[in-house]
Structure formats: structure tokens, C-alpha cells
Amino acid sequence: MERLTLVCLWLVSCCGMTSADRSEPLKVEEGTEVILPCSIRNNLESLLFDWKKDDKEVFMYEDGFHYNNGRGGQDPQFRGRVWHFQEELKHGNASIIIRNTKVSDSGNYTCVFPRLHPRETFHIQLAVDPILKDRTDENIPGAAPKPYVNTLDDNKDSSLLQCSVQRSSPKPRVEWWDDAGNVLPAQEPQITERDGLYDIILQTTVTKTGRYRCVATQEKIHHQIKSDEIDVFISEAGPQKGFSGRDVTIAVVITFLVTLLIVGVVLYVRRRNKNNQNRKQSPGEPSGGHLTSSA
């Protein structure tokens, strides 16, 4: 996609045209990257061009000196995330790429060539669509903290898990997930509200060994946060089941083989004892022992 954009920009510059203002905004998903196109007929290697978002400095290039090689003045919002296409400057390509886009990147951008006569300015609107993700680092008021999970009751065939989410607004949707991301059936949540902030407790009973986690989702602020995983081991899931036909077949085969082995061992021992007894007796000698003659 990036190469296709660059080829289009190169064709535009080769045809003696300049990039025009966009009537439709560029739309991208949060966390991806976007190319803001801008090009003119001139070789830009020794010229100046400046990208701004409202009054914020996004990227400035002047005769090889720019924000990524020592030039100061770039707004902290864009620091380390904006790059230009050095090899394309000779073709008049002043486009920039913004990586790891944020919702706050949405807005109006200008690409300015202040030293050209007449001065050239191009306008681009960027719209970054938000996704559900952990926004703890963004310090959003009311964003749910990491859910606290614990085990209330353990027995041989089930485990009762509890999740607690505190001081959140707007009210989050709280769910228990298994390790495959499936939502588990749960009891009615216990919800309390104080000063516009919600405390929620959600319990679920699981009957299978596995890993589980609690998830709090606030759609309005695009915030979703997950608890640490909790491991559950069920030693006996449900009542004892009878043997299957396959199990019976295996048991019969094993019993038969063990029986053959025992019979073989007994026959071998008997035969060895008999041979030992025969070797102790010499040929023609009575079994009662030697007779002595009297004078």
C-alpha cells in the first residue's frame, strides 16, 4: 500500500502537477499508520517544507535538517512517530508517514512551502477511528481500573469466581471470559453507584479446568481492560461416568496379556524345577540311596 502511494505521487510529480487539497478526509484505524500526501514539481532536497496540525509542529524539513536528525521544535504528540521519504525528495515528494496513529491525531493538517513564490499550502483532513483498548496510560477520568479477581469457593466439580470493578464512569460492561475469549454465563451483577461512579461485582461458576479472566468494557470512551488470568483446576468435573466400549476393549486385552504372561511364568518355573530334579539323580541309581553289604 505504501509503495502504491509513492508510485502515484511520483507519477503526479512527473506529469508537472501538484497535489491538491483533499475534499474527503483520510480515514484510518487507531494504532495503524497513514501517509499524508503532498508533492510539487520542484526538487525538495535543498528546500523547506513544513507540516502543521492547527498550531502544532508535525514535521519540518530544510536542506537535509529535520526533526528526526536533531532539529528542535516538534510537538511532543508527534515526536518519534513521523517520518518523510528521503529518496523521494528529488521527485518533489514532501509526503509524511505517521505511525501508531492516535485518536488525538485526527484533525486538519497543512503542508506548507513558505519560500516558494507564490507560497504553496495544501490541506488534508485526517480521521482516526478509535478501537477498544486499554487506555489507562491516557488518564481518562472514570476509566475502569484493572478488575480484581479471586476464587470464593472451590470443590471437586466447580469453582466460584468473583470479579470486582470499582470507581468507573460511564458504567462498564463486566464479563467473565475463558482463555478462548468466549463470554461465560454469570450471575446478575451487583451494582452500586456513588457520586456518579460505579462499583460492580460479578460472579460466575466454572466447571472446567482452564484459565479465566474478567473484562471491563466502556464503549463510550473506547476503553477495555482485562484482569490478570486466574487458573482453575477441577479435579472431578461432574459425576463419575461409566466405561466406554473402547475402555472395556482395552481392559479385556490387557487382562488377557497379563494372564498369558502369568501362565507362561508358571510353566517355565515348573519345567526348570523338574529338570533340576532329574539332574540330581544318576542313571540306574535307586532313588532311596546306596546299600552296603555285610561281611
Question: If you average pLDDT over residues 31-60, what whole number do you get?
Answer: 96
- Give the model's pLDDT for residue 151: 95
Helix (H) or strand (E) holding 9: helix 2-14
With respect to residue 116, please indicate whether it lies within any of the assigned structural domains.
Answer: yes
With respect to residue 289, please indicate whether it lies within any of the assigned structural domains.
Answer: no
- Give the model's pLDDT for residue 281: 61
Sign (positive or negative) of CA dihedral 135, 107, 25, 96: negative
Question: Could you tell me which residue, 209 or 283, shows the higher pLDDT?
Answer: 209
Last residue of a domain, one of 96, 129, 162: 129
| Band (14; pLDDT cuts 50, 70, 90) | very low
pLDDT of residue 248 exceeding 70? no
- Give the model's pLDDT for residue 236: 61
Task: Based on the fold, state whether residues 46 and 86 are members of the same structural domain.
Answer: yes
Task: Based on the fold, state whether residues 10 and 111 are members of the same structural domain.
Answer: yes
With respect to residue 284, please indicate whether it lies within any of the assigned structural domains.
Answer: no
Full domain range(s) for residue 35: 2-129
Spell out where the chain has E strands: 26-29, 34-36, 48-53, 56-62, 65-66, 82-84, 96-98, 107-113, 120-129, 148-154, 159-168, 173-178, 190-194, 197-206, 210-218, 223-226, 230-232
- Give the model's pLDDT for residue 263: 82
pLDDT of residue 285 exceeding 70? no
Question: If you average pLDDT over residues 140-155, what whole number do you get?
Answer: 95
Please identify which residue in the block is written with the cell numbers 450471575: 187
pLDDT of residue 242 exceeding 80? no
Mean per-residue pLDDT of the chain: 86
Q: Which residues pair with 214 in a beta bridge?
A: 176
Task: Based on the fold, state whether residues 6 and 120 are members of the same structural domain.
Answer: yes
pLDDT of residue 174 exceeding 70? yes
Task: Based on the fold, state whether residues 206 and 157 are members of the same structural domain.
Answer: yes
Nearest to 154 by CA among 197, 206, 210: 206
CATH of the domain at 185: 2.60.40.10
- Give the model's pLDDT for residue 257: 87
- Give the model's pLDDT for residue 252: 78
Last residue of a domain, one of 129, 159, 192: 129
Nearest to 146 by CA among 161, 168, 169: 168
- Give the model's pLDDT for residue 273: 77
Task: Based on the fold, state whether residues 186 and 71 are members of the same structural domain.
Answer: no
With respect to residue 57, please indicate whether it lies within any of the assigned structural domains.
Answer: yes
With respect to residue 270, please indicate whether it lies within any of the assigned structural domains.
Answer: no
Instruction: Read off the pLDDT of residues 226-236 as tens digits, 9 standing for 90 and up.
Output: 999 999 999 86
Looking at the structure of the chain, the number of domains it has is: 2
Task: Based on the fold, state whether residues 151 and 185 are members of the same structural domain.
Answer: yes
- Give the model's pLDDT for residue 48: 97
- Give the model's pLDDT for residue 4: 43
φ/ψ of residue 91, rounded to 5: -95, 5
Question: If you average pLDDT over residues 84-92, what whole number do you get?
Answer: 96
- Give the model's pLDDT for residue 284: 53
With respect to residue 272, please indicate whether it lies within any of the assigned structural domains.
Answer: no
Instruction: Read off the pLDDT of residues 181-202 as tens digits, 9 standing for 90 and up.
Output: 999 999 999 999 999 999 999 9
Last residue of a domain, one of 213, 232, 251: 232
- Give the model's pLDDT for residue 23: 67
Of the CA atoms within 13 Å of residue 27, those in its CB half-sphere come to 4
Task: Based on the fold, state whether residues 55 and 70 are members of the same structural domain.
Answer: yes
Question: If you average pLDDT over residues 258-272, what whole number do you get?
Answer: 82
| Band (256; pLDDT cuts 50, 70, 90) | confident
pLDDT of residue 147 exceeding 50? yes
